[in-house]
Amino acid sequence: MNNKLNKVRLKGNESFNIREGWLRKGMRCVAEDPRLFAKREAMELLGMGSKMVKSVRFWLQATGLTQEVYQNGGRVQTITEDFGRVIDRYDPYFDDIFTLWLLHANIVANEEFCIAWNIFFNEYEGENFTKEDLFLMCKAQLVKRMEEGAAFSEKSFYSDCASILKMYLSAETSEDPEESLGCPFAALGLIRRSANSKNAYRKVAPSPDQLDKLAVLYVIRKNLAEGKRSVSIDDLLGAPNNVGKVFHLNRVGLNEYLDQLRVSGLLTLTRTVGLDMVYLEDSPTPPEIMTAYYEKATVR
Which domain covers residue 256, as residue numbers?
A: 213-296
How high is the pLDDT of residue 290? 98
How high is the pLDDT of residue 1? 46
State whether 113 and 200 are in the same domain: yes
- If you average pLDDT over residues 30-36, what whole number do you get? 95
The model's pLDDT over 36-87, given as tens digits with 9 standing for 90+, comes to 999 989 999 999 999 999 999 999 999 999 999 988 878 899 999 999 999 9
The model's pLDDT over 94-131, given as tens digits with 9 standing for 90+, comes to 999 999 999 999 999 999 999 999 999 999 987 789 99
Cα–Cα distance for residue pair 116/135, rounded to 1 Å: 9
State whether 103 and 54 are in the same domain: no
The model's pLDDT over 242-267, given as tens digits with 9 standing for 90+, comes to 999 999 999 999 999 999 999 999 99
State whether 38 and 83 are in the same domain: yes
State whether 106 and 198 are in the same domain: yes
Q: Answer for the pair 213, 261: CB distance below 8 angstroms, yes or no.
A: yes
Provide the angle, in degrees to the nearest 10, between the axes of the packed helices 50-62 and 22-32: 90
Final residue belonging to a domain, choices 93, 122, 150 = 93
Element (H, E) at 203: strand 200-203
